[in-house]
Amino acid sequence: MLAAGGAALVFGALPWPAFGDLAGRTIPILTFVVAMSLVTELLDEAGLFQVVTDRLATLGRGSVFRLWLLAIALAAVSTVFLSLDTTAVLVTPVVVLLAVHARIPPLPFALTSIWLANTASLLLPVSNLTNLLAQDKLALSPAAFAGLVWAPAAVSILVPLALLWMAFRKEFKGAYGPQPAHRVRDRRLLIFAAGTVIVLLPALVSGVPVQFPAMAAALFLLVVFLRRRPAALRWSMVPWRPMMLTAGLFMVVEALHAQGLTRILGALSGSGESLGALLQLAALGVGAANAINNLPAYLALEPLAGSPARLAALLIGVNIGPLVTPWASLATLLWHERLQALNVRIRWGGFALAGLLAVALTVPLAVVALWVATGMH
């Protein structure tokens, strides 16, 4: 994909002025993604997520339903404040191993993790790369962004959880026994990691450009690890492949825009801010995300979302919609890799049918919530 983007630039399909504008807009976002990837990897190396696992098992007090509620809280907070990819990569093993150690079926916990990774990624700019692009386009503070999307964000969390409860309510009635605790290898390193999170989370929603606190946190943790556990540092902590894919997608979609993509999609996206128009744009976002991937889907449709309400409707489609096909969201592919490493098998046919039901119910209700909250009724 990166080679395709480079070819588009070299052979003129992507004009240099358009590439300059694209780079100015996306380099800070890609910097944030790399920095946050490093932060979450180093937090995991410090043992923070193992400690969280132990605390959740203790707080569950033997109730599977209470344990599920705690898994929901962890996945939602991780997605909202640290991004959907963090939830897919680091929260998934936590909640799945909780289930495995408790000798309860891991599927409800695994599905909770990936559904919330996508559907809870609407509230803050840092929750999803698409949100950061939308925030940049609208020039909104994190608080103003949340003020625009809070109602559909609430719906997008509650409706999938209601579906999961109805599907697995028998499993949630069970009990589990005491859980083995993990040994902390370096308590001081763990304290540094926890302190970093405590400082970083409010900084990410303070209104300061998010790449700066993320870079500061990554640099601080790197220095700490160089002093206390340098052997843990490895180049694979940097997400090279996702970054090359993302940069290539940015360039290819921008080249397609330069060749008339906006005009072609304009006939399908509708116009205006009526409920029907918002539903039409969100549905197009759902279809495009599941056909190609939510990031190029957002980039392709962004020029057609000419107002805050329409942009929010597009985000509903491309953020909540990727629950059907495995490639609709990078988070889903990362989640599946983690499940394979844990020897948990997923049937994609069942995954797609369950996701289709969740999307068919959640997206229209979220759009209605947006329409009502923005005063368009």
pLDDT digits (tens, 9 = 90+) for 292-348: 888 888 988 998 888 999 999 999 999 999 999 998 988 898 899 889 888 889 999
Is 324 strand, coil or helix? Answer: coil
The stretch 234-253 carries a mean pLDDT of 86
Instruction: Give CA torsion, residues 57, 61, 66, 68, to 10 deg.
Output: 20
pLDDT tens by residue, 98-137: 888 788 889 999 999 999 999 999 999 999 989 999 998 9
| Distance of alpha carbon 204 from alpha carbon 195, whole angstroms | 15
Percentage of the chain exceeding pLDDT 70 = 98
312 near 122, Cβ under 8 Å?
Answer: no
Q: What percent of the chain has pLDDT over 90?
A: 56
Q: What is the mean pLDDT of residues 4-19?
A: 92
* Residue 342: per-residue pLDDT: 85
Distance between CA atoms of residues 48 and 94, nearest Å:
11
Helices (H) and strands (E) in the chain, counts: 18, 0
Q: Does this model's pTM top 0.95?
A: no
pLDDT at 263: 74
Q: What pLDDT does 267 receive? A: 67
DSSP β-bridge partners for residue 63: 175
